[in-house]
Structure 1
Amino acid sequence: MPEETLIAFDYGTKKIGVAIGNTLTRVARPLEIITSVTRDQRFADIARVLAAWQPDRVVVGLPLTTSGQTQYATLRCRRFANQLQGRFGVVVALVDEHGSSMEAQELLGSNAPDDAVAAAVILQRYLDALTPSLTL
């Protein structure tokens, strides 16, 4: 598999967490939190991130229920993913984000904003799924 730069988004109606990683190191790290109020400004901020990092692929967290079913938030995230693909022409992968915010809070060990860390958790799940398991 050729090396790819990846950007992940933890989509929310008020904040969007952003993380970056690549398929060479297979490590994700938090990048920033987009807190723009208007839709136009949010997409301008997303355009800035995409232009700066030029990812080969974008990963979006998909909020499913504990039983893996869709919910209202799932539909909003799918719409966001479709908008990213349509506006920016990027390849988008969806990853189950269940529990990513709780995991991010545990990693932070505080009540600090966790959106970018949650995006890194989502991206790390994607990267881990790419890694073939090693057995002896």
Structure 2
Amino acid sequence: MRILAFDYGTKRVGIAATDPLQMIASPLTAVHPNDIWTFLKQYFQTEQVETFVVGKPRQLDGSDSESAQHVVGFIRRLQREFPEIAVVEVDERFTSKMASAAIAQSGMSKKKRQQKETVDTLSATIILQDYLQSKSFF
């Protein structure tokens, strides 16, 4: 069974997935928030998912950021649409900055680096990697 991670934004949702053994996090895609439900239903036709990991935006002091309210609504709907799948919230502070830095150092073409979808899917991958690492310590 896989784990899916989301970097939720009002323009795009970055999505990453683990391999079936839950050892490797890989970027999957970025979709418009309105299309996420169709995407997930199609994804579940071929893949089994046991956990959703959702990045929760926070301020430097740890309090919820302004965009956190959108993430809370997304999490509620995930729980309503897929009650059998656990939802875990993780702190996503700095993931977009880390993703942008990794892309800048990757040698990717300038056009590819400027695509916001690349940052969103990589942010979701970083969120998922952080979750996998934290899980391996318990």
> What TM-score results when the alignment is normalised by the length of structure 1?
0.83
The CA deviation string for residues 12-33 of structure 1, in whole angstroms up to 9 with x for no partner, is 1110000001584532110001
The whole-number CA distance in structure 2 between the counterparts of 1:131 and 1:7 is 17
Structure 1 gaps of 5+ residues are: none
The whole-number CA distance in structure 1 between the counterparts of 2:14 and 2:46 is 16
Residue aligned with 2:64, SS: coil
Quote the residue 1:128 is aligned against. 133
User: How many aligned positions are there?
Assistant: 127
The whole-number CA distance in structure 2 between the counterparts of 1:100 and 1:74 is 15
Quote the residue 2:121 is aligned against. 116
Instruction: State the AA in 1 paired with 2:72.
Output: R
Quote the residue 1:20 is aligned against. 17
The whole-number CA distance in structure 2 between the counterparts of 1:120 and 1:81 is 18
The CA deviation string for residues 69-109 of structure 1, in whole angstroms up to 9 with x for no partner, is 01331121122111101112221000111011111112212
The whole-number CA distance in structure 1 between the counterparts of 2:92 and 2:126 is 8
Residue aligned with 2:49, SS: coil
Quote the residue 2:89 is aligned against. 94
105, 113, 117: which one aligns with 2:100 = 105
Instruction: State the AA in 2 paired with 1:69.
Output: S
The whole-number CA distance in structure 2 between the counterparts of 1:25 and 1:57 is 10
Q: Is 1:77 the equivalent of 2:71?
A: yes
Structure 2 gaps of 5+ residues are: 105-112
Quote the residue 2:36 is aligned against. 42
Cα drift, residue 52 of structure 1: 3.2
Alpha-carbon contact 2:3-2:22 (below 8 Å) kept = no
> What TM-score results when the alignment is normalised by the length of structure 2?
0.82
